[in-house]
Copies of this chain bind each other. A is one copy, B any other.
Amino acid sequence: MENHSDILKRNGLSVTESRKKILELFLDSEGALAHADIEKNTDVAFDRVTVYRTLQTFVDKGIIHQIPTTDNSILYALCKHNCQQGHHHDNHVHFICNSCDKTFCLDDVTVPDVKLPKGFTPAQAAMVVTGVCIDCKG
């Protein structure tokens, strides 16, 4: 079973306290995390700058991916599939619950292809669905 350090090593990263802790946060959390979530977590008391740099490093290495939102914040979530450096395979749909505000990676729901107008060449597609999640329904 692969642990924090293994994931870091596999990606050619030095194994440091901050990276282990932040990675652990992602492994322990079901949904996606915003920068603020990580900074506010009482267990983690790293410098803001370290959090910014760690998240950027993880994105670069393909350990986490970004989820687009309309509220001026970036959400980050673990890449479940094998993402290579600079080549993400996070083509799954994201679900943001209007009730509990949690964000889910629907790993089994693939972003469908769409037919673009003539002249437009797609490279990547992201899809975000809002609504009520399985924990808040009823």
Enumerate chain A interface residues (CB-CB to B < 8 A).
Answer: 66-74, 93, 95, 98, 104, 106, 108-109, 111-112, 114-134, 137
In the complex, which residue of chain B has the Cβ closest to the Cβ of A71? B74
Copies in the complex: 2
Interface contact A114-B127, CB-CB below 8 Å: yes
State A137–B122 Cα separation when bound (angstroms). 11
State A66–B112 Cα separation when bound (angstroms). 22
Interface contact B132-A121, CB-CB below 8 Å: yes
State A118–B138 Cα separation when bound (angstroms). 13
Of the residues B73, B123, B127, B134, contact of A117 by C-beta under 8 Å: B134
User: Shortest distance in angstroms between A119's beta carbon and chain B's nearest beta carbon?
Assistant: 3
Interface contact B116-A106, CB-CB below 8 Å: yes
Q: Can you list 5 A-B contacts with CB-CB less than 8 angstroms, sorted by A residue number? A: A68-B69, A72-B73, A98-B123, A104-B120, A125-B130
Interface contact A95-B68, CB-CB below 8 Å: no
In the complex, which residue of chain B has the Cβ closest to the Cβ of A95? B120
Interface contact A126-B95, CB-CB below 8 Å: no
